[in-house]
Structure 1
Amino acid sequence: MHRIGIVVAGVMLLFFVAVSNGVAGTRDNCIAKCKEAANFVKTNGIKAAVKEISIRHNRFTWNDGVSYVFLMDMDCKMLAHPVKPEMAQADNLIETKDVNGKAFFVDFIKAAQKGKGWTRYDWPVPGQEVIKPKHTFIYRIPDTQYFVGSGFYVMSPGVFY
């Protein structure tokens, strides 16, 4: 019995480490891509950034297009979105809600006002007919009225995309 307990504990430890590394890697990827996109805006200007980020598969998308960076302004206007470009047609998204009624763009603005932060809401997974919990990192582009965001989906307990 003692050996079984040790084996089970070892397997659980390995699972925890694998899941933790997956989350850390996913979180780190979102942060890195947001900072890379912010640098692109600062270096190339807002028009070039809107053009680049609006492309479905651009330098700021990865994970077969499931993971991506979007660009907004502090008035809650979507400037560029590679998966849902129609969002850029709206004057303001502040009252947009997820399937649970959460006005998550409010959280985006709050995070951007602080300079950066994480939000959580439910959102459709690109290329799939499913809505899953999404954790999104918001990063304010220094000395501008713009911010970028990127997130990952929780597909099931311990599985992130």
Structure 2
Amino acid sequence: MEAALKKSTAGILAALMLMVMVLADPAMAGTRDDCITKCKEAGEFIKKQGINAAVKEIGDKKGRFVWNDGVSYVFLMDMKARMLAHPHKPELTKPDTLIEATDVDGKAFFVDFVKAAKKGKGWTKYTWQVPGMEINKPKHTFIYRVPDTDYFVGAGFYVMSPGVFY
């Protein structure tokens, strides 16, 4: 019993240490904060300028919602999982819904986007192609529902290798 308790406590402490290391990493913290900030800015833009202006601005790969040398960006969707604007993959705006689309690992991550949006906000994880590179990497994306609308925006960062975020 005592040995099991020590083993369990050691496991919990190791997990806590890992969490502290990840959360204390300034690059990741800044990236997470940037994603949240840009999503909220995009939400305000939608409320003030309207959906048509937002589709144009968010879909512009040289626009104000693309940063970090083009690797980080905001995209815009509706609650039916229809992509309304994407600065790097405008072809995603063609289908009526992406709800059944999957990442390279077979994960239907757009379902997670809608679930997070229904809650108002949240983080999701999936695998996605890094813009400008021919590689797929794990991506953490913040989803933010624009208040009093059926729209939500998302922005994320890539895990390039342990401890390296982009």
TM-score normalised over the length of structure 2: 0.86
CA shift, 1:18, in A, is 9.5
Amino acid at match of 2:103: D
| Aligned residue in 1 for 2:137 | 132
Q: How many corresponding residue pairs? A: 146
| Aligned residue in 2 for 1:109 | 114
> Counterpart of 1:92 in 2: which secondary structure?
coil
> Counterpart of 2:69 in 1: which secondary structure?
coil
| Aligned residue in 1 for 2:152 | 147
CA distance in structure 2 between the partners assigned to 1:123 and 1:81 by the alignment = 14
Kindly provide the CA deviation profile for residues 44-87 of structure 1, in whole angstroms up to 9, marking residues without a partner as x. 00000001111111101100110000000001100000010110
CA separation of 1:18 and 1:39: change in aligned 2, threshold 3 A: closer
| Aligned counterparts, 1:72-111, within 5 A | 72-111=77-116
| Aligned residue in 2 for 1:43 | 48
CA distance in structure 1 between the partners assigned to 2:22 and 2:165 by the alignment = 14
| Aligned residue in 2 for 1:12 | none
CA distance in structure 2 between the partners assigned to 1:28 and 1:53 by the alignment = 19
CA distance in structure 1 between the partners assigned to 2:62 and 2:159 by the alignment = 22
| Aligned residue in 2 for 1:69 | 74
| Aligned counterparts, 1:16-35, within 5 A | 16=21, 20-35=25-40
CA distance in structure 2 between the partners assigned to 1:121 and 1:17 by the alignment = 18
CA distance in structure 1 between the partners assigned to 2:30 and 2:132 by the alignment = 22
> Counterpart of 2:70 in 1: which secondary structure?
coil
Q: Over the residues paired in the alignment, what is the CA RMSD in angstroms? A: 1.3
TM-score normalised over the length of structure 1: 0.88
CA distance in structure 1 between the partners assigned to 2:113 and 2:131 by the alignment = 20
C-alpha contact (below 8 Å) 1:31/1:150 kept by paired residues: yes
CA distance in structure 1 between the partners assigned to 2:142 and 2:157 by the alignment = 9
Structure 2, unaligned stretches of length 5 or more? 1-20
CA separation of 1:91 and 1:159: change in aligned 2, threshold 3 A: same
C-alpha contact (below 8 Å) 1:19/1:158 kept by paired residues: no
Amino acid at match of 1:108: F
Is the aligned partner of 1:122 residue 2:122?
Answer: no
